[in-house]
Each structure stands twice: as C-alpha cells, then as structure tokens.
C-alpha cells in the first residue's frame, strides 16, 4: 500500500503542498476553516506524518531512550509498563538498551541511545549514576534516574522511599516477636541497595534487634542469591528467625532453598521481600513484601522527562511504598529457634 504524502493531500484539496504543511502544523497564517478541512482530509486519506521530516524541523525526534539493567527482571518489566503507557499518551516512542547490570555497559548503552538522537534518557536502577555529569554537560539532554539520584542540573530522580519501606517490614517482624533478623543485600553500588541496608541496620538498632556481621549477606538481587544466602545462614551456629531480602527474587530463591532443606516458611523461618513483583503473590507460601509503585515510577519518569524537555522546572519525586502482608511471615515461636 502506497503511503499518502502532503503532495497527495494538496492535490485532493486543490491547494499547494506548503499550504497543507502549514495547516497540518496549525500555522496561524492558514484560516481555522481551511486548517479544519485539511486535517479532516488528511485523516480520511490515512496520512501518517513522517517523524524524520518533523524532527528536521523541530530538532526533536519525539523519542526517549531507556537504559534497563536486565530484560528478565520482573521489577523492570513492571516499571516499563508505566513508562510505555505514558510515552504513548505524550506522543513519544521509546528506545531500549540494556546494561546487563554492569556500570560500564550502562554508560555505553546511554551513549548508544544519545547517538540515536533521543530527546531524553531514563535509567532504571543505575549502577553508574555518578559518571553521567560529563556526559550531560557536553550534551544537555535531560536525564531521569529511577531509584537513584544525581546532583546535576540536567538530572532528575523518581524513586521510592526505601528507608520507610524497610522500617515497615522490620517493624512487622518485630511485632511478630522476631529479634534475630538477617539481611540479604542487593547489588554493590546501587543506591537502593545501600539505603535498604542502612535502613535495616538503623531500624534494628532502634528496635533492639540482635545484630551479627555474618547475618548481613552480599547479593545482586538474583534468585540464586537467595539459594546462596540460605546455605550460608544454615551453616551458622547463631541462626536468625527471620530474613529480610533486598528484593522479591532473592526472597523467593531463599524460600525455595529452605523448602529443599526441609525448613518450613514461615513456621521455622519468616521471609520478607521487596518490590511486590506479580509472582510474589503466587510463591509458596505467598510472599510478604514491600510494594513499590512500579508502574507509577515508569509513568512519572516519562512525564517528568517530557516536562524537562518543555523547559519546566522538574522536582525530584519520592513515592511511598507499602507493606503487603502475606503468608511467609508468622509469629516467632519455639520452632523458629531450632531450624
């Protein structure tokens, strides 16, 4: 099927191509009546404007670049739902590049997207946020960091309140009688990972929890980190009665390892995740977790990027999380101390 051009519309309307071009751009030199008629004719004929041609005129491609850590991460997928919907509503296309959770690859992905002439960049769960200053100063492209922040006039952040989320989770475990709580951390260099660990340690100190260095276990936010963490905790003489995990994937991996070892969740050990990814409600048992407003993060990131492009002042945004209590946590009892 042959695409309809401005020349075709001009021929059908009996006017010049320049008149059609101005009318489709709602130029004030063209009367309202004629603009309305030409818009209606263009729609009737199935005209689709060329984004390439439009970008040559406006200097904008109506495209945003998004750097994601891992295409298989359910958290990222949920954030992208909100971003894609907001992009569509604003008339923007989205281009994606993956960092594979590597800081160098993240910066390479951002440069790749800038090379595609995107109007703005959004980075989800950055591992290299501190290295964007030089890139931004030479380019001027607005940057939105999801769950990170950077002190730069071109950079803006949209994130959840990690500290409050962890505090809610630890308070819940403490109310259930747990005072021996371990923590499986997230990726090194990530802001969310650092904030959640710090919040865990501060909440533990405030609530009088027992704290041992070996109860804080390094991780990367992956399923296999939960397997490793359970193995390490099971080998300790002093074992916790509950485990707070950096994210749901880690928590689900830990529960799977516990089941394989014959350790019952929550009768023998309580487990809490973070993110509330869709699968957490269907884990066995259903996972108690801190819900992040994932689609809202993606939507707000795109909306604020578009605002920055229009020259508006864009504030940093902190969205609240909420504890979702399910079946992976229960009151601390005698069985917890003997697993």
Task: Read off the pLDDT of residues 180-210 as tens digits, 9 standing for 90 and up.
Answer: 999 999 998 788 999 999 999 999 999 989 9
d(CA 262, CA 264): 6
Q: Which of 37-51, 100-114, 190-204, 283-297 has the lowest mean pLDDT?
A: 37-51
With cut-offs at 50, 70 and 90, classify the pLDDT of residue 276: very high
- Residue whose token pair is 């100190």: 205
Position 99 pLDDT exceeds 70: yes
Specify whether the CB–CB gap between 135 and 123 falls below 8 A. Answer: no
pLDDT at 229: 98
Q: Does the structure show a pLDDT above 70 at 54?
A: no
Answer yes or no: is pLDDT of 56 > 50: no
pLDDT at residue 338, as a whole number: 62
Q: Compute the mean pLDDT over every residue in the chain, rounded to the nearest whole number.
A: 91
CB 123 within 8 A of CB 145: yes
Q: What letter does residue 334 receive in the DSSP assignment?
A: G
Q: Is 177 helix (H, G, I), strand (E, B) or coil?
A: coil
Instruction: Give the tokens for residue 113.
Output: 């997207």
End-to-end CA distance of the chain: 69
| pLDDT, mean of residues 127-137 | 78
Same fold? 61-161+294-320, 162-292+324-338: yes
Q: Which two tokens stand for residue 227?
A: 């397997």
The ranges assigned to domains in the chain are 6-49, 61-161+294-320, 162-292+324-338
Q: Which CATH number fits domain 162-292+324-338: 3.30.465.10, 3.90.1530.10, 3.40.50.2300, 3.10.110.10?
A: 3.40.50.2300
Check residues 129 and 87 and name the one with the higher pLDDT.
Answer: 87
Please compute the mean of the pLDDT values over residues 16-36 and round it to a whole number. Answer: 85
What single string gives the DSSP state of each residue in 317-333? EEE--EEE--SS-----
pLDDT in tens, 214-261: 999 999 999 999 999 999 999 999 999 999 999 999 999 999 999 999
Give the pLDDT score at 124: 95
pTM across the whole model:
0.82
Specify the pLDDT at position 24.
82
Third-level CATH fold of 6-49: 434 Repressor (Amino-terminal Domain) (1.10.260)
- In this model, does residue 79 exceed pLDDT 50? yes
CATH architecture of 61-161+294-320: 3-Layer(aba) Sandwich (3.40)
């Amino acid at each position: 099927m042959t695409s309809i051009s401005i020349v075709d519309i001009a021929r059908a309307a009996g006017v010049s191509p320049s008149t059609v071009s101005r009318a489709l751009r709602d130029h004030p030199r063209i009367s309202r009546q004629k603009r309305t008629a030409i818009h209606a004719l263009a729609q009737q004929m199935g005209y689709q404007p060329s984004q390439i041609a439009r970008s040559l005129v406006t200097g904008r491609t109506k495209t945003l670049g998004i750097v994601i850590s891992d295409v298989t991460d359910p958290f990222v997928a949920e954030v992208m739902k909100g971003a894609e919907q907001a992009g569509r509503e604003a008339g923007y296309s989205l281009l994606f590049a993956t960092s594979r959770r590597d800081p160098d690859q993240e910066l390479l992905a951002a440069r790749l997207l800038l090379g595609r002439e995107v109007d703005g960049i959004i980075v989800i769960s950055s591992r290299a946020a501190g290295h964007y200053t030089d890139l931004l100063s030479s380019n001027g492209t607005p940057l939105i960091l999801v769950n990170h922040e950077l002190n730069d006039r071109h950079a803006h952040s949209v994130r959840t309140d990690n500290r409050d989320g962890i505090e809610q989770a630890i308070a819940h475990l403490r109310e259930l009688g747990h005072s021996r709580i371990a923590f499986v951390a997230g990726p090194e260099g990530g802001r969310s990972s650092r904030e959640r660990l710090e919040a865990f340690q501060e909440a533990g100190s405030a609530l009088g929890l027992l704290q041992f260095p070996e109860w804080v276990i390094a991780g990367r936010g992956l399923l296999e980190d939960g397997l490793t963490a359970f193995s390490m905790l099971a080998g300790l003489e002093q074992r916790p009665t509950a485990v707070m995990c950096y994210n749901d994937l880690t928590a689900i991996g830990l529960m799977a390892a516990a089941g394989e070892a014959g350790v019952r969740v929550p009768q023998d050990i309580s487990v809490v995740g973070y993110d509330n990814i869709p699968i957490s409600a269907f884990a066995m048992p259903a996972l108690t977790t801190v819900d992040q407003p994932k689609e809202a993060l993606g939507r707000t990131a795109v909306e604020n990027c578009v605002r920055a492009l229009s020259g508006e002042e864009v504030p940093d945004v902190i969205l609240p999380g909420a504890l979702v209590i399910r079946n992976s946590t229960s009151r601390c009892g005698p069985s917890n101390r003997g697993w």
